[in-house]
Amino acid sequence: MSNEIRVRFAPSPTGYLHVGSLRTALYNYLYAKKVGGKFILRIEDTDQTRYVDGAVENLLNTLKAMGLEYDEGPDKGGEFGPYYQSERTEIYNKYVQELLDKGTAYRCFCTPEELDKMREECKAKRLDTRYDGRCRNLTENEINEHLKNGDKYVIRLKVPKEGEITFYDVVREKVTFQWDTVDDQVLVKSDGFPTYHLANVVDDHLMEITHVIRGEEWLPSVPKHLFLYESFGWKPPKMCHLPLLLNSDKSKLSKRQGDVAVEDFLNKGYLPETLLNFVALLGWHAPGDQEFYTLAELEKAFSLKRINKSGSVFDMEKLNWMNGQYLRNTDLKIIAEYARKYFEKAEYHIPNEKHYFELVDIARNRIHKLDEVTEFAKPFFGELEFSDEDKTILGSQSAQTLFKFWAENIADSTELNEELINELLKRSAQELEIKGKNLYPPLRLALYGSAHGPELPTIMDILGKDEVINRFQKLIK
């Protein structure tokens, strides 16, 4: 075994990538980058009942979209493969037999019905509903009789029933569990597939994982895992359990309270750069008060020692604010490229690239996420809608005079440009004696559908000469 630091992200293909899982992947990635180690992707697909078609492809695409490149994985290979657990069952069979031979695991022949009955009886008596270990001490003859009858069985871990186990966690520091609170975990299911617990330990050892960085919901599993390491005579990796992500009401972040899939956030127009920056700060903090980081900056600044113990609230207002900052300060070409799919979906076609960039530039200063860009652009496409108050303004004598004057002068010009627009604004004030709130708001309202919005030269440039004249003429009585 080398001295190289090796970490892994090991999701199950049960759906989309949760933002909590994104944080786990990110912290593993950042730590590997910080220390010059390796970041491994492993697909834990032993639970075939929860497998979702397309989930692996979605996972790989999402990690790619987020810029989290792994060194070894399903589509990259590596000397420690296969990287799908479902392709490693023969490996697990060898090790579970070793546990049976050593007496640290046993066959449990209890049927699902028997287990349900046991739980119900315990529940009625207000007793512990965990498995009571009734198959722990079956004799060899009893086991052989079950096997002879073809009875289905699972294989369970035979954990100690007395004493305690203490271990060190990078975030939690000293952690102690009483053994009588730890259940005899199922290691191999009746279908022959291993559970997470066995496959996880075997794979982490064989893949030479040095640090296990994962969510704190796995903390109660550590005693079982360490017992497995001890049973095999292996050195365990260092443990690092990340704090929970919370809703604003301090409950665990879940689908019930809104979108939690990374793909949902990306589809709504949150930038990958924003999500990485935002998620990185949910449970970790740098020495200073810096809030905005590129991925490269995070790689340099990250430290496991600066991960918080307490849960972090997933603050949507903060995320929206941060995404707005990224939209305004990221290179316009990058934002325009991200925005294209929203224009295509709305079937808004802007053949002139200059006008498209102008529109995106205006919009990004007024929105928080890119799926709002087409709502901002909507006035440039199709019919405008006016309120009764708008119609009163548009129908006033001064507004009508203004529209006729502009329509005639634009029609007589060879080109609609900023110079002409500024000239007509000046003449409107001087010749028509229309100024201030009677000049700009009616013009903007007639062309954009709102008294507030982009500058008039920008609106007219995007609309083009013919459409500007058309919009004025439609309003002239």
Any idea what the Cα angle at residue 126 is, between residues 124 and 127, rounded to 5°?
110
447 in Cβ contact with 475 (< 8 Å): no
Residue whose tokens read 């796995």: 218
- Cα–Cα distance for residue pair 401/428, rounded to 1 Å: 10
Q: Is 18 helix (H, G, I), strand (E, B) or coil?
A: strand
Q: Is 239 helix (H, G, I), strand (E, B) or coil?
A: strand
The residue annotated as part of the active site, out of 102, 255, 391, 437, is: 255
Written as six digits, the tokens of 180 are 């009588």
- DSSP labels, 27-87: HHHHHHHHHT-EEEE-B----GGG--TTHHHHHHHHHHHTT---SBBTTTB-TT---BGGG
- Cα–Cα distance for residue pair 327/461, rounded to 1 Å: 23
- Cα–Cα distance for residue pair 378/37, rounded to 1 Å: 49
Residue 74 CB coordination number (10 Å): 19
| Radius of gyration, CA atoms only, the chain | 32
322 in Cβ contact with 272 (< 8 Å): no
255 is annotated as an active-site residue = yes
Active site residue ranges: 255
